[in-house]
Structure 1
Amino acid sequence: MSAVSCLTQGRSFAASAGALAHRDADIGLHLNLTESLNGEPMPALSALIVQTWRGRLDARWIEDQITRQLDAFEDRFGRGPDHVDGHQHVHQLPGVLQPLLVQLRQRYGARRPWLRNTAPGLLAGLPFAAGLKARFIARLGARELRAAAQAEGWRTNRHFLGVYDFGAGARGYAALVHQWLFNATDGDLLMCHPALPGLRHTAHAAQRAAEFQVLGDAALGEWMAANGISVERYSRMGALRPVAESVTVAAVAPAGRFRHLVSRT
C-alpha cells in the first residue's frame, strides 16, 4: 500500500486516524457526496451525476461538504491531505471539481495535494465489462481534471487501474491484478479495497476479504520483484518520464502460490 483515502464521516475515522498517521503511506481525503455515513442524507450517485450534467447542483451544499470534510481531516491529522480523490469518483464531476480546486488552493497554497486522475491505463487482456466500466468512470470527468491539472500545475497519477465489478473472488482478482500490473507504466495508480475477513455491514465484504488475501500473499511480491515493479508513494516520486521511456513489465508468468491463484485451469 502506498496511499490510503479517508472517509472523514466514517464510523472508524476518528478512532483510527492516529494509528494511520504513523504509516509509511500517503494519506488523503476521500470526498464523499453520495453515501450517508453519519445520518446526513446524501443523493444517490445516479442523481448526483444527472444534477451535475444539467447544471442543477446545489453549489452551496457542495462547498459546505468540501469545507467540512477537509476541516475534519485537518482536525485529526493536523495537516492537509497528501492527495484528494472521491467516493465513487465524485471529485471529478462538473460542479464539484472547480470548487474543490478553489478550496485546495486557498488552504494549501504551494503545498498542494495530488489528485486522482481516472483516465484508464492499458486495458489489454482485461474482461470487456471491466474495460467498459473504466471508460465510463473516466467519461465522468477525467479529461476535465487532467486539463485543469495541466493548466494550474496540479500533480496527478498518470493512469488509473483497478476498476472491476467486485465479483471476481480471490482467484479472479489475482488474475486481474496480474494483468493490471502487466499493463502498468510508471506513475499509474492501482485502486484497491482490501479488508479483513469477517467485517459486517460493509459493502462487498466478501470481495474485500478476497482482495486482502491476494494483496497480502508474499508470492505476489515475489512476482512483482521478478518483473521490476515497485510500489511507491506518489508524493515522493519525481517528475515522470515519457511513457515510451518507462520501465516495461517483462512477460514473466506468475510463479509459486501466485501462479495457482491466477490459473484458470
Structure 2
Amino acid sequence: MYEVVSTEDAAAVAAEVDRQRATFQGLLGRNPTHLDSHQHVHKTEPVRSIMIETARRLRIPLRDCDPDISYSGRFYGQSANGYPYPEGISIESLLATIRGLPSGVIELGCHPGLPDDLNSMYRAERIQEVRVLCDRRAREGIDAEGIQLRSFLSIATELRRELKAEVA
C-alpha cells in the first residue's frame, strides 16, 4: 500500500483498498476470505479504520484486528527489529509456539514460499518455513495439541452464520 499511495491520505488509501478488492474479485470471481497488509501497515491510522470498515462491509476477518481471531507471529525468521533470525524457523520453534497457543481461533503468522515466488530478502527463510511446516513432526504436534487446521473461508463462513443467528 505505502508503495502506491501515502498511508496518511485517507481518501487515497480507501480508493486503493477498494481497487485491490475489485482486482481480487475480478481475478477470482469472489471477495477475499480475509484482509491483511504488507508489513502490517493496516495497524496504523488511517489505514486501520479503512481496513476495519472494509472487513465489516465484506463480513470477513482482518488480521490481528478481529476479536474472534488471535494472531501469533512467534514463528518467524526475523527479530523484532527486522533483522534475519533464521534460527527462529525450526521444528522446535514451531512446536514450542504450538504448545504455547491459547485456546480459540489463532492465525499463525508465517511466510512460506518457493524459491521462484518473489524477489525478496526473506527468500531463504520462506523456503525454510515450507520445510518446517511440511515436516511430519509439525503435523504430529498439531494433532497432539488437538488443533484443527482451518481456512479463513471456513472461519468467515462460520462467523457470518453466528452473526445471522444473533440478529434473528
Instruction: Name 2:72's counterpart in structure 1.
Output: 160
Indicate the SS of the match to 2:70: coil
**TM-score, normalised relative to structure 2:** 0.74
Kept in 1, the 8 Å contact 2:72–2:107? The answer is: yes
Kept in 2, the 8 Å contact 1:161–1:188? The answer is: no
Larger Rg: 1
Instruction: Name 2:46's counterpart in structure 1.
Output: 95
Given candidates 171, 194, 197, the residue that maps to 2:112 is 194
Q: Using the alignment, how far apart are the partners of 1:196 and 1:177 within structure 2?
A: 19
Residues 90-239 of structure 1: matches in 2 within 5 Å? 90-106=41-57, 108=58, 112-117=59-64, 145=65, 156-162=68-74, 164=76, 165=78, 166-169=84-87, 172-185=89-102, 186-197=104-115, 201-237=119-155
Given candidates 37, 42, 55, the residue that maps to 1:86 is 37
Q: Using the alignment, how far apart are the partners of 1:200 and 1:85 within structure 2?
A: 18
**TM-score, normalised relative to structure 1:** 0.49
- Bigger mean CA deviation after superposition, 81-90 or 93-102: 93-102
Instruction: Name 2:28's counterpart in structure 1.
Output: 77
Indicate the SS of the match to 1:158: strand
Kept in 2, the 8 Å contact 1:195–1:209? The answer is: yes
Q: Using the alignment, how far apart are the partners of 1:116 and 1:99 within structure 2?
A: 13
Q: RMSD of the TM alignment (CA)?
A: 2.7
CA drift at 1:178: 1.4
Q: Which stretches in structure 2 are left out of the alignment for 5+ residues? A: 79-83, 160-168
Identity of aligned residues (%): 25
Between the two structures, name the one with larger relative contact order (CA 8 Å, sep ≥ 6): 2
Indicate the SS of the match to 2:120: coil
1:67-123: CA deviation from partner (whole Å, max 9, x where unpaired): 1111111101111111111111112221112223334445x3xxx011211xxxxxx
| Count of aligned residue pairs for this structure pair | 150
1:235-258: CA deviation from partner (whole Å, max 9, x where unpaired): 43557xxxxxxxxxxxxxxxxxxx
Q: Using the alignment, how far apart are the partners of 2:36 and 2:115 within structure 1?
A: 26
Instruction: Name 1:66's counterpart in structure 2.
Output: 17
